[in-house]
Every structure is written in C-alpha cells, then in structure tokens.
Copies of this chain bind each other. A is one copy, B any other.
Amino acid sequence: MERRTFLRKASAAGAAVPVVAAPAILHAQPVVRWRVASSFPKTLDTIYGAAEVVSRRVAAMTDGKFQISVHAAGELVPAPQVLDAVQQGTVEAGHTALSAYFGKDPTWAFGMGMPYGMNSRQYTAWWLHLGGEKLFNEYANRAAGVTAILCGNTGAPMGGWFRREIQSVDDLNGLKFRIGGLAGVVMTRLGVTPQMIAGGEIYTALERGTVDAVEWIGPHDDEKLGFHRVAKFYYTPGMMKGSPAIQMVANAKALAALPPEYRECLTTACHEANTYMLSKYDASNMTALKRMLAGGVQLRQFPKAVLDACHKATQEVYAELSARNADFKKLHDHHFAAQTELIAWSRVVENPYDDYMAGTTARRS
C-alpha cells in the first residue's frame, strides 16, 4: 500500500515532461574547433564516414559549440603521416589504422589488430574492460604524446583478391602480394614479396600483373575499387590483421585542454562510432558480395595448411619482436593472454549458437 501511495504521488509530481528543478544558470561554453585528419579517402564511406558521425554527434550534443572538421586523406596530411601530424599538433586528432605506423615501432599495431589476433568483439572487451586501453595509451602517450580513443572496427577482413588459386603453402612462394605492415613481414617468411602500393594504384597493378594479389578490406569497399574485374579468386578469412580497430588518435595536450564536457562528448561519440562502423559494414557487405559472385567471382577459403603455416610464421615474428622490443612484448603478452580467455568464452556459447544458426539458415536458403 505504501508503494502505491508513493507511486501515485510520484506520478502526479514527476510528469512525462522535463522537470526544470533549478533556475537556469548562465554558463557559457566556449566554441572549440578541432581538425581531424582521416587516413581514409571519402570513397571508403563507412570507415571515413565514422569520423563524420562523430563530428555530427559532437556538434549536436554541444549545441554546435564543439566543431570537428574531418579531412580526407591527403587533404591536410598524407595518409601515412597522420600520426606525425597529431603528435606535432598540426591537427588535434587523426582517424587512423595504427598498424600503419608499424615502421616506427611494431607496438603501434596493437592499436589496430594483430595477425591471428582478436575478433572485433574480443578486441572491444580487451580495450574497454581488460586493461588494453590503459596499457596501449601508456605507450602511445610516452612514444608520441597521443591518446587513442576506440572509434571503429571493420570486422574481420577478407583475405584478399588473387589472380590464381592458393592450393598449398608452396603457392605463396614468389607471390607478389600487396599487403603491408606486420602482415607483410610475416608473409616474407613464406616466400611472399610484399608490395606497398597506394589505394588508387592497386587496380592497375593487379590488372597488369605487377602484383598477383591484393589484400584490402571487405566486399563493400573492395567492390568500389573493382578488384573483382581483374582477379577472380576472393579468399577468406583475412587472418593477418585480426579485426581492424580504427582509432581516434588525439594529441594528448589538446585532449587535456578541452572543457571536460567536450572531452566526454568526444569519447562517447567515438565509442558509439565503434559500433556504427562495424554494424554498417555488417549491413552492407553481403549485398556487395552477392553482386560480385553473380559476376563470376570465386569465393575460396585458404586451405588449413596455409592458415597453419602463416600462424606458425606469425608466432616466430612475435617471438623475435618480443625479444628485442620491451614495449611490444608487454602489449603482446597482455593482448594474447586476454585473447585466450576471450576465445575460451566464445567457444562456450557464441560459437555453438552461431554454428547451429549458420547450418539452419544454409539448409533453408
């Protein structure tokens, strides 16, 4: 009876309209403008677009007072120099795939995803709840005065486009493969010649046979570059990047100088964009893949022997890097210990459920 009385009173007092409980205090927020250099071109609408989603959300949350302009790769800064530009304060932040800075130090790759690393869900759990963010940003702050905020994931990428089939480990030998960073280093162990070619030039290189294969993202993006017109075999899975996380990398001083509410808006919007990007790719990849399959593309799965050989080479590279780079070792040990636990959990319920549903849907379609 007491509860009912209380509820009736509450219902009368707390109506379904905002309650103005205090006189409006005049509190002025400054107009702040940030420039974000994206490492991606506008044609990659989902990965590039996530930064624009952040910009729109932050503006809408702050009544237009925190204005973030997003600049496509090359507009202010060439794609590979985004981290430098943030470090130097040329721009306040960059939206980038941190494995691109592998050449500076392989430790940066843990800000994106590792060969045979975590899937998107595992990476998010590691980053947000298992100490990944803290550990990585200790490194990022020390190495470059920057702080990474999780701001996207592409999902597990495809293994790439191949002009000829990969039926054995030997077929990798001599392969000219457009693949970069840590993945490229691993691949050399198997006789691959990694090639770095800018996005806009890959199509021609593949068409002319300057490269035999190219790794890019997934169907939604790959289709736009037209790889399916010059390479017939589309391989899965893309085991060499884990599931790429995309980070909003902010100059640490610029971030600290923000009014606290703006910093909070930025962080929240980036975390929302993390989901936005992944779910948008999920919503669009199959449509693009179906079109390409209808056009004659052959979907192929890497033979287990190839996956095993690349896995073994990956572990060798990890051991060597860990032996000579304490930062890499610290992140490596933390990341992969967490991965083992997270995979163990995936095996209990998510994988069996997904596998059952995959089988059921396959029977239906």
Contacts and interface: CB of A to CB of B under 8 A. Distances in A.
A1 to B, nearest CB: 14
B340 A125 contact: no
A237 interface: yes
Q: Which interface residue of A25, A348, A364 has the most chain B CB atoms within 10 A?
A: A348
Contacts of A351: 354-355, 358
B63 A16 contact: no
Contacts of A353: 119, 156, 236-239
Given A340-B364, A357-B343, A360-B311, A121 B289 contact: no
A91 interface: yes
A135 interface: no
A347 interface: yes
Interface in A261-319: 261-262, 264-265, 268-269, 271-272, 274-276, 278-280, 282-287, 289, 299, 301, 304, 307, 311
A362 interface: yes
A60 interface: yes
Interface residues of A, number: 116
Contact of A278 (B121, B283, B360): B121
Copies in the complex: 2
A124 B343 contact: no
Interface stretch (A96-104, A176-184, A252-260, A325-333): A252-260
Interface string A44-70: 000000000000010011110000000
A248 interface: no
Interface stretch (A29-37, A167-175, A187-195, A224-232): A29-37
Contact of A254 (B18, B271, B348): B18
Nearest to A127: B279
B361 A16 contact: no
A77 interface: yes
Interface in A83-99: 85, 88-92
Given A124-B275, A129-B279, A349-B237, A26 B24 contact: no
A294 B162 CA distance: 48
Interface of A: 6-7, 10-11, 14-22, 24-35, 57, 60-63, 76-77, 85, 88-92, 116, 119-122, 124-126, 128-130, 155-158, 218, 236-239, 251, 253-254, 257-262, 264-265, 268-269, 271-272, 274-276, 278-280, 282-287, 289, 299, 301, 304, 307, 311, 339-358, 360-362, 364-365
